Structures are given as structure tokens and as C-alpha cells.
A and B are shown apart, each in its own frame.
Chain A
């Protein structure tokens, strides 16, 4: 089976303004991908280029093995096997829910065979309404539905013609925060049931981790890393991504050998992540004596251990299930700041003391070249 999506060296610019550059990634069939990045990083433009609403100036896009955009060819959006769910859902207000879903079935010439008869189209609409669990609303109009329901209808409408690839543009931005996670789980289940490959765009990493198999982090028009969701969290490809994904702080360190760094927390086993983007500082192996930045996640620390390092408590923040401790550790290279997280227990056992001992409690930390 062909890859549902393959993007190579794609670039888009308006005059001198580069929206994105040299973007390469691919999606396996049935996979859900997510483009994650702050607003203005070019992720929505990338999505629109895949859909055909923007024309890239370089590189090419293959959808289901067919080149839809490249140096010699460009397919209009209506000819591509792509479904799209818009930020504002863009349901057609003059059509019922069922007619909205059926809309693409009547139009799509490529699928003429499968949905040629009215009965086939009706069966498909019924099937999708069941899938999104809104069968009773078939004859309602979009404005009669809640935001979450509208979103599921928009999803059903985009899925109806069985596109090779589904695109979702900030699908949860107009949904109440409480509903987002629940909807994300539902949508993931629906996409998996339809076995449709999908790309969504978001700036919320929680959403990205809930829904996606693969995540791409975008910054300043570049796709900095494209990897499985767990891989992105475990081994961010550079410092910027490491700062963006999950929580954590950097402390200074000096490499004592290729696998260990000397820090305020003592000598830590580290995995040195060579900068892939900035070619000039790039070296696969860390030299002994090289200055590095070591990423310490809150979960990697334990406090009040016997063999820990003495730390000053600067601030505590109660966050419900857990409390954050902002710590300061004195070190020859200057004071180092750390955050550690501790579960809140039923009995008030919060550390009121101004000092406690802290220890690195994981197999390995990540070290990044200094000043990358």
C-alpha cells in the first residue's frame, strides 16, 4: 500500500518572506501525525499547502503515491484525495447535518463508482452518523448543535468520501477546555476505526500527545524534528525542542567523558544529543571538557535522600495533585535552578523547611551543546 503522504523539500514564500522551508516528512497508512509549534511557525500554511489552498514554490507532495504538487504539476484542492476539518468547522448553514455529510459524496468524481447510487450514499451517511454518535441529529441544522457536536459533524463530512488523508487545522481551538481531551480521544478512535491517515496542526502539546502517533515540531518555518510521540519527549533533537516539549530546566555541565557530565548534582550519566540543525557546532561525540547544558525534568529528581545535594527552597507552588518546588543549588559555576515535582498526600506533609536534599534519580539525562 502506498504511503498516504510524502512531503519532500517543500518550501513556501511570499516574496522575501519565507513561510516554511525544506520540509520533509512522511506518514504511514493509518497513522495520525501532528504538526506542533507556536503560532506563526508556518504549520497552518504547511497544512494548507498539502490541501492545495497554497501553492508551494519548491519541493513536492505525494498523496497516496500520486504527486499532487511538484515542479511540473499542481492539482487543485478538489482533485486531491484530501479531506479537511477547519478551525471554525465551516459547516454549510443551509444544509442539514445529513446533507452536510453527503455533500462530498455527490461531488467526488474519483469515488463515483463506490457512491454512485443514492442508497450507497445514504448508507455511508448513516454509517458515519453512527461512528460519530450523532444519529439522532441527521435532520438538524448545524446551528442547533453544540460546538463539540459540530466538530464531529465536520469530521464526518470530511471522512465521508474516504479521503486518503485527512487534515485537521487546530481542531480544538473553539472547544471548551474541559471537552478538549475527551474529544481528542474520541477523534483518535474515529480515525482509527476509519483507518484514515491524518495530519493535525496544534500549538497545544497535550492535544498532540493525546491524539497523535507521530509528532513534528515546527519552529520558524522549519520542521525541527519528526518522530514518534514518545521519542519526541524522551529525546528532543535540540535544546529549543527540549524547552518546548514537556517541563524541565537546564543546568550547566562539563563533559568528563563521552557519557558523563559533571554538574551541580554531581556526575550524571548523560546522552549527548548533537545539534543536527546548527552545522557548525555539530559533532557526533562530545569531547571531554566540553561545556554542555543538561536537561533535568521534574520527575527525574527525588528529594530528601541521604546522599543528595543540599538545595535552598525558593518557592513552592501547589498545583493540586502535585506541588512544584523551585530549588537553588550552589555550584562553582554559579547558582543552578531546578524544579522538582512531588505528589500531594492526604496528610499535610509539605516540606516547609527552607532546605532539603535533592538527587538525580534516573538512568540518564540529556546533554545538549552549550549555546545552541
Chain B
């Protein structure tokens, strides 16, 4: 099972061993360098910008007090609900030549086309800013938690040694939060690297667009897989960075004592500046695009909310439901295998099965296509030779292939949720129940299931929403004429029917809000504990 789940990644990495085709050398001569360059620029800049976008509000919210701080604590997470490709379409609609903003400028000033300078949104710069706007919450989330946790012990020592609050921030709080910063930034960079919808729409040649073009345009799957292999190396580098920073994070908690740190009250213009910074991020990353989507959706509701839309909705929902359920079953299987046998290889196998989350959907799609296509061809050839029957495509281009790819990508989400739930059921609880007369199945039914219910629901929900949002894997692997919300949004936007794309886009954003609300509830709860001195 684990081998099967790791197969796509292994296949893609294995492509380095196969001889390169003509297409490959052609790619290497022409566009490969552009792909590398663009991907690197994009990833690095998104990382840098989300670092700035993330640390500033994290510090303000954790260390200072200003109007609206409590609200911003969770509102700053809202942009997480907005997939990058959707924010890209929305801002394009808002800011391009015929959009409301430029029309307004022309109306006021009487300028015509070419009379004034306006930043071109469909550019590398635009892609960087927009992606950073929806990816900064990863940095914000981790750094805020780090600031809150390091609270008392070290910071008070620093103050008592005569350092002012600002110097304390630079000399202590920031370096101490470094593992969290690196982890958050590398998450944001992984997402940037995996993005397909935005760069495709903005016409930027990166690895993900290159993979799809090589496959569709040149019809050369091996070359596409080799490109995917190169992309994987970047991902692995980021993954190593992230793991490494997490390992160090453990040593940074020197004290178990938690006491709310005294926030610096900001007054006057400084306070309003802080509010403005936070509000600006929330507005740019969520409120404005969401409002624009709402407006479009309202305008086009008459002809977009038809039977076809219901069909899309149904396709998306049941695909997501099937995947979420299968992921849950597998995650339970893995988590219990790990609990019952404490051997190292079981542990390693579970980790391996969870590796897919870091891999871009595009890479997984290619990694699924290669072996499935090979299987179909081989079986077809054999059946023809033996029985003169053509089996055609049994696996590739089916929902099975699609669900399988989703599982490879999102199983880790499920496993994490189930594991964290199961860790709260201590082994002695099992034993207590047994010494009180319960058999193995009784323990499962009366103790585990009631205690795990919340985590199981979380696991289902998170995978469900991830599947709804996933674009590249769906695009490549979906059966012919099978559309989902994400794919339809992408297609309509590609046809410059931005307003018509708003209904499916809005549905995805609304679904994406659910985990954000769950996260912000967790933050509110932890704040409650902080303040009650627990």
C-alpha cells in the first residue's frame, strides 16, 4: 500500500535514469533555462514578500496592543481561503485596462489609452504580489505562535538586563522565532512552486506550465516527467529546509511556564498605522477579491446558476467526499498499524505515505500517468495478442486515477489529524477499559471512537476542501468531459469570462473558509488559556 502511494514520486525521480528524448534536449536548449529562472525568481520573491507580510502583523498582534487587535488575530488568516489562481483572476478583472479602477482613473482625468502609466498586473511582479498576499498567513500563523510561546522567560530576562522593547525584538524575539519563520516561509515557497493556475493565466513559463505544455504540446510524457523530476529536486530542497528548522524548534522552548506577556500599548498615529497595516493585508488578500467575486456572482447569477453549475458542484462534492473517506480509512489503518506495532519500519512507512503533501499536484499527476498508462498499454497489448480483445484505458483517464492522485497528495493531512487525535488516547486508557471488562472491539467502540470523533471529522473536512481547491492534478487526470468547480473556474477565466467564473470560484472560497474558521477558533481558544493563566 505504501509502495503504491509512494509510486508516483518514485516514478518521477526515476525519470533521471531513463535516456532523454529529443524533446528533452530541445527543451534544454530553449525553454528549460527560462523555467528554472522564472520558478526560482517567483519562489524566492514570494518567500521574501510573504516573510515581510507575515512577520509584521505577527509581531504587531503578538506584542502590541492597538485598535482591532483581537479581530485581526484571526482575520489575518482569511486569505488562506483564497486559492492563488482565484485571487489572480479577480485582481486581473479589477485592475486591467477595462477594469473598474482604470476606467475610473480615465473618467476622472480624461486620459485615454497610453496616456498614463499603470502597473501591468499580468506580469511576474503581479504574480509575486498576489501569491504573497494569499500565502503570507503560513508565515503569520507560525511566527505568531512562536512569539506567543516564547513570551515571558527570555524576554523578561532581556528587559531586566537593560534592553529596551525594540532591541529585545531584534536581538531576541526575532532570532528565537527563526525556526518558525523558516518553516512558514518554506511552506509558502512550496505552494508558490506548485502553483499552476496563476502562472499559466499570467503567461509566465515555470516548471508547472512547462510540464503541461511538454505533455500536451509535444505529446512527450517522458520529457514532462523529467521536468517534473527537476521540479521535485527543488521541492525536496525546501522540504529538507523545513524539516531541519522544525527539528531545531524543539530546543527553543526553554521554559514550560506560560504567562501572558505584557503587550506594548500603541497610541495615536502609531496605533492607527498598525491597524492600517493589518487591515490592508486582510483587505487586499481577502476582503476586496471576495467582494469583487460576490459582485460578479450577483450580476451573473441569472445565467451561471443553472443545471450545469449544479453538475459541477455535484462532481466536485462527490469527488471530494470519496477522496476524504478513502483517505480517512487509510489514515486509520496506518495510524493503528503504527500504534499496535512499535517497529521502526512501520513508522518510516507511514512517514513515506505522508510525503505526497509536499509534492506539487502537477508532479503527482505526471507520476500517476506514467505507470498507469504503462499498465493500460501493456494489458491492452497482451489481451489483444492473446484474445484479440482491446481493453482500452482501464486506469488512466478514470476517476480512479484522479482519486488515487488526490490520495497521494492529501493522505498526509488525514494521517496528521488522526494521529494527533489518537495521541490523546493514552495506552493506559485502553488498559483501564480492558481491566473494567471491555474486549478489544469494545475499547474501540466505547473509548476510541467517541474520543476520536472530532479528529476524524477534521481529517475528513480538511481533505475534502483540499480536493475542492486542487487544480493541476484534476486538470490532467480528469476523465474526458468531466468538470469540477476548480477546472471550470480555470477554463472560464482562460476564456476571459472572469465574471462568469465567479460563481464556481466563490463556491471554492466559501468551502476554503471552513478550515480557516477552525484555525481561528483554535487561536481564540489558545488566547483564552493564555489569559486565564493556564
Contacts and interface: CB of A to CB of B under 8 A. Distances in A.
Nearest to B424: A93
Interface string A45-87: 0000001110000000000000000000000111110111011
B269 interface: no
B437 A109 contact: yes
B439 A78 contact: yes
B431 A86 contact: yes
A51 B435 contact: yes
B436 A161 contact: yes
B310 interface: no
Given A107-B442, A157-B436, A94 B431 contact: no
B114 interface: no
B429 interface: yes
Contacts of B433: 92, 103
Given A53-B431, A90-B431, A76 B439 contact: yes
Interface in A96-128: 103-104, 107-110
A53 B427 CA distance: 11
A220 interface: no
A158 B446 CA distance: 17
A78 B432 contact: no
Contacts of B447: 92
B435 A158 contact: yes
Contact of A51 (B431, B442, B446): B431
Interface string A263-281: 0000000000000000000
Given A93-B451, A94-B450, A94-B451, A86 B436 contact: no
Contact of A88 (B428, B438, B450): B428
B432 A90 contact: yes
Contacts of B442: 78, 107
A86 B439 contact: no
Nearest to B451: A94
A282 B169 CA distance: 72
Given A88-B426, A92-B447, A94-B450, A107 B431 contact: no
A165 to B, nearest CB: 11
A161 B429 contact: no
A161 B437 contact: yes
B434 interface: yes
Contact of A84 (B432, B438, B450): B432
B431 A84 contact: yes
A90 B426 contact: yes
Given A93-B451, A94-B450, A94-B451, A107 B429 contact: no
Task: Give the size range of B's interface with the partner.
Answer: 10 to 19
Given A107-B437, A161-B437, A77 B431 contact: yes
Interface residues of A, number: 29
A104 B434 CA distance: 9
Contacts of A110: 437
B435 A83 contact: yes
Interface in B413-445: 424, 426, 428-429, 431-439, 442
Contacts of A77: 431, 434-435
Contacts of B435: 51-52, 77-78, 80, 82-84, 158, 167
Contacts, number: 68
Nearest to B430: A90
Contacts of B437: 78-79, 104, 107-110, 161
A76 B434 contact: yes
B438 A87 contact: no
A86 B428 CA distance: 7
Contacts of B436: 78, 83, 103-104, 107-108, 157-158, 161
A148 B450 CA distance: 26
B434 A86 contact: no
A108 B436 CA distance: 7
Interface in A227-275: none
Contacts of A107: 436-438, 442
Contacts of A94: 450-451
Contacts of A90: 426, 428-429, 431-432
A86 B451 contact: no
Nearest to A111: B437
Contacts of A93: 424, 451
Contacts of A167: 435
A113 B432 CA distance: 22
Which of A52, A79, A94 has the largest count of B CB atoms less than 10 A from its CB?
A94
A157 B435 CA distance: 11
A349 B307 CA distance: 100
Which of B424, B429, B436, B438 has the largest count of A CB atoms less than 10 A from its CB?
B436
A78 B438 CA distance: 6
Contacts of A157: 432, 436
Contacts of B426: 88, 90
Contacts of A78: 434-439, 442
Which of A79, A83, A87, A107 has the largest count of B CB atoms less than 10 A from its CB?
A107
Interface string B67-106: 0000000000000000000000000000000000000000
B158 to A, nearest CB: 32
Interface string A154-175: 1001100100000100000000
A172 to B, nearest CB: 16
Contacts of B434: 52-53, 76-78
Contacts of B438: 78, 107
A162 B438 CA distance: 16
A92 B446 CA distance: 10
A87 B429 contact: no
Nearest to A87: B428
Contacts of B446: 103
Interface string A330-360: 0000000000000000000000000000000
A52 B424 CA distance: 23
A159 B442 CA distance: 20
A80 B436 CA distance: 9
B81 to A, nearest CB: 31
A264 B257 CA distance: 54
Which of A83, A103, A157 has the largest count of B CB atoms less than 10 A from its CB?
A103
A78 B443 CA distance: 11
Which of A78, A93, A109 has the largest count of B CB atoms less than 10 A from its CB?
A78
Contacts of A158: 432, 435-436
A103 B436 CA distance: 7
Contacts of B431: 51, 53, 77, 84, 86, 90
Nearest to B436: A104
A158 B435 CA distance: 8
Q: Which 4 A-B pairs have the closest CB atoms?
A: A104-B436, A107-B437, A90-B428, A86-B428
Interface of A: 51-53, 76-80, 82-84, 86-88, 90, 92-94, 103-104, 107-110, 154, 157-158, 161, 167
23 contacts: A78-B434, A78-B436, A78-B437, A78-B439, A82-B435, A84-B435, A86-B428, A87-B428, A88-B428, A90-B426, A92-B432, A94-B451, A103-B446, A104-B437, A107-B436, A107-B437, A107-B438, A109-B437, A154-B432, A158-B432, A158-B435, A158-B436, A167-B435
Given A84-B431, A94-B451, A103-B446, 13 more contacts: A51-B431, A78-B436, A78-B437, A86-B431, A86-B432, A88-B426, A92-B447, A93-B424, A94-B450, A103-B433, A108-B436, A157-B432, A158-B435
